[in-house]
Structure 1
């Protein structure tokens, strides 16, 4: 699936990529500026997309009928965007991170939010579930902090996270779970990816000003990450590993663990502002391969779950498909 600023969402079949033709073209509705995020349901029956809007739209992938429905998140904020949206593992709910500093969980059947968490002090750029159960989830924000949540403890109006992961010195653009409820990674405007183990998370009650990144007055969308904008490493960094080399500017560049079946999750891979895909070794932190060919920022990347194929989405208006074999690492 690719989404473009022309308001089109195109779905491709990975078995027939040589045809370079989408089998379905969805014309997005209620788009403010651009389509911001999309997601496939785990059962592969539905897609969702968001924009600068109060709504997430849900569409069917293939069926005898066409579904294209607006789901109203009913925010209190007038200028509202859901920067990150994800289906729950059972495809029954949507978790979303928003411009009003909150995390929303929306029930698709009842068509209303069932949980709204006042989660951060700045935009929530990314959210994801921790494992196959929808109980644990992560949120990452422009406040430079990643939080670990257990929704079973959020009843009665409590907005307390069970843990906080500190170590980035700038806002976080993306969070991705390994799927085991233990390890996760974050990509950040401080030009690094960090690997975390939630067993080393910090108790939120012990967070003070020394843990929180100082506010920066530079705009990563237009400015370079120059030495005058870089405030150095965080003194209270609890991450396991840090990966550097890629560039995180202009947009919310994303990073992921490689698939279990084809790679054993031994890699972390990410897009970059320099138009390159970087593949890092999880343990050593070294760059094992760079995929070069795009002429503008690679915002998002996706590794096929069983085949040695990667898809990349770039600001040069193309989607790239790449092959990866261990023998080709360099």
Structure 2
């Protein structure tokens, strides 16, 4: 490492060096007309750089430092116009006799530009004399000032970005995913059927005639019945729809809307919906966040940004107010202070246990709550994460013991109900580099699916979970804890994406956009798809359907289907719609997509998309769909799109 004044000759025998640079408004001590010909700042100092210094906790105004006012040799904090560029080279490491590991580390480090004000703050000094500053530049310890042990920048430094490795993304098709497709765990595989595609009518005839293997024939029919972009029906709401799901038997559908109302529909005939009932959340804050049906379809639990869960009967004849379950009662002090420390928090996710006797919830104070419905008391309140818990679910609806939780701390944790009292997870899944938005269990106690703000969806196998001891030893969060991506307002820069060194996922799926809101993903159901696919909503208004090998099977353009219908309904123009949650009917080739649209995405809709084998034959026919209000009432009208 070497140092040179701005007035020194620009040659550098070693090929690396540092230059002291001057911003506008700060002059070198020996300025002259000829200096302008010699001094060429390598990096322009912007207003943002000076703002960084002003916001620095160690920053002091020049007027406040009266003690050293007469010290002309001192570099004061106010003189933030000076920046220093440090260039690391492998040759220096060799000269110092570093070991091979250190040589590799030095070669990987790139030039860094940091202001003098920030540099002084990092070493804990208010000012340095010129002699002290020179000594610092010549010291090998300067690298420890600019970098921590993980090789990351200190706040205030700017690192010149190098082009990312284009081959850093997981391979597609995935070898592990291909093995799963052929294993039978995700549907039957008939090689003959793959080579010779048959239309549904022929397969039905084969089934009636007893030709071929009936089970494989039935599975092959289900696998090819993917819903299309044309919507059979569009249900409009005057607020965004945050989630919508069918019941396990397919006879029921509910839609959670930002207006603090949940609409319920009878879908026993999935092609002919009937309005059922509406329930309210009386004291909701901002929006409804989640809802879940009890296994017997008799009760609906739904949440807002509150610690209370509304518990409403689905019986249309029961017109009473919903019951209230206080999940903040008996909560211990979380250490957050204020309203959060007194049992008040926002619930992001809620789920019934398989027997319908308990609820689990994730909230914005990093905890997982287990609540007994009958006794109305909190059984466990575990501070299990380092950030918001955005999603929770059971591994198997028939087994109430294993629980998953996904958090903004980028980690999925596995919990065993029988040992939750000690507050330690039973295992962890690591691999996402941004926060989790949703998790879904296949329901077999083994596979789990997750969506993340890093624009990926991942498949995990419980048998590959990281043990608690290994998780604590490896500390995988050290690689991701400094992220500052705001998914609500920013596009994700894929140049920032990297493969987590401790990734223990099985398959990674890409192509959709997980931003703007907590986008949801699911496994396709066994009844209507033979469990063949995984799928997700997307901020670009589409539903993405993948094969298990990470190849894209199909896309459903919900925004295109609902855009004109929304305008005809009174929703106006605005940005392209966002699909927050798609949900596949368990027994029919139908997907109901809950989405946002209209001007500034202030309107919502649930569009119903079904499979149509002859869509290619109908290209000349007008595509018609029913556009209806939230009660499916008389205001329905045909809309051409």
- Band the TM-score falls in, shorter-chain normalisation: over 0.9
- 1:117-137 CA distances to partner (integer Å, 9 max, x unpaired)? 111000000000001111001
1:12 is paired with a residue whose SS is strand
1:99 to 351, 364, 374: 364
- Residues 60 and 66, structure 1, Cα contact 8 Å, conserved in 2: no
Unpaired runs of at least 5, structure 1? none
How far residue 214 of structure 1 moved from its aligned partner, in angstroms, is: 2.8
How far residue 22 of structure 1 moved from its aligned partner, in angstroms, is: 2.5
How do 1:103-114 and structure 2 match up within 5 A? 103-114=368-379
How do 1:49-128 and structure 2 match up within 5 A? 49-62=302-315, 64-66=317-319, 68-74=322-328, 75=331, 76=333, 77=340, 80-128=345-393
How far residue 115 of structure 1 moved from its aligned partner, in angstroms, is: 1.3
Against the structure 1 CA distance between its residues 270 and 324, is the aligned structure 2 distance closer, same or farther, given a 3 Å change threshold? farther
Match of 2:436 in 1: 172
In 1, distance between residues paired with 2:499 and 2:354?
35
Is residue 633 of structure 2 the alignment partner of residue 319 of structure 1? no
- 1:2-33 CA distances to partner (integer Å, 9 max, x unpaired)? 11112221111224566665221112221100
Q: Which has the larger radius of gyration?
A: 2
In 2, distance between residues paired with 1:286 and 1:276?
16
- 1:270-328 CA distances to partner (integer Å, 9 max, x unpaired)? 1000010001112x111101000324111112111111111110012110111147998
TM-score, normalized by length of structure 2?
0.49
Against the structure 1 CA distance between its residues 111 and 320, is the aligned structure 2 distance closer, same or farther, given a 3 Å change threshold? same
Against the structure 1 CA distance between its residues 54 and 179, is the aligned structure 2 distance closer, same or farther, given a 3 Å change threshold? same
C-alpha RMSD of matched pairs (Å): 2.0
Q: Which has the higher contact order (CA 8 A, sep 6+)?
A: 2
In 1, distance between residues paired with 2:283 and 2:577?
27
How far residue 114 of structure 1 moved from its aligned partner, in angstroms, is: 1.1
1:219 to 486, 494, 504: 486
How far residue 218 of structure 1 moved from its aligned partner, in angstroms, is: 2.1
In 1, distance between residues paired with 2:456 and 2:545?
13
In 2, distance between residues paired with 1:17 and 1:318?
17
How far residue 268 of structure 1 moved from its aligned partner, in angstroms, is: 0.3
Residue range with higher mean Cα deviation, 17-26 or 66-75: 17-26
- Per residue, is there more strand in 1 or in 2? 1
How far residue 195 of structure 1 moved from its aligned partner, in angstroms, is: 0.5
Is residue 282 of structure 2 the alignment partner of residue 29 of structure 1? yes
In 2, distance between residues paired with 1:29 and 1:279?
37
- Residues 310 and 324, structure 1, Cα contact 8 Å, conserved in 2: no
- Residues 295 and 356, structure 2, Cα contact 8 Å, conserved in 1: yes
TM-score, normalized by length of structure 1?
0.93
- Residues 12 and 24, structure 1, Cα contact 8 Å, conserved in 2: yes
In 1, distance between residues paired with 2:614 and 2:434?
36
How far residue 63 of structure 1 moved from its aligned partner, in angstroms, is: 5.7
- Residues 543 and 558, structure 2, Cα contact 8 Å, conserved in 1: no
- Residues 267 and 274, structure 2, Cα contact 8 Å, conserved in 1: no
- Residues 308 and 325, structure 1, Cα contact 8 Å, conserved in 2: no
In 1, distance between residues paired with 2:275 and 2:317?
18
- Residues 270 and 588, structure 2, Cα contact 8 Å, conserved in 1: no
- Residues 368 and 389, structure 2, Cα contact 8 Å, conserved in 1: yes
How do 1:151-170 and structure 2 match up within 5 A? 151-155=417-421, 158-170=422-434
- Per residue, is there more helix in 1 or in 2? 2
- Residues 166 and 236, structure 1, Cα contact 8 Å, conserved in 2: yes
1:193 to 440, 453, 457: 457
Q: Which runs of 4+ in 1 moved over 2 A?
A: 15-22, 63-67, 207-215, 324-328
In 2, distance between residues paired with 1:147 and 1:246?
24
Is residue 569 of structure 2 the alignment partner of residue 288 of structure 1? no
- Residues 33 and 52, structure 1, Cα contact 8 Å, conserved in 2: yes
In 1, distance between residues paired with 2:469 and 2:410?
17
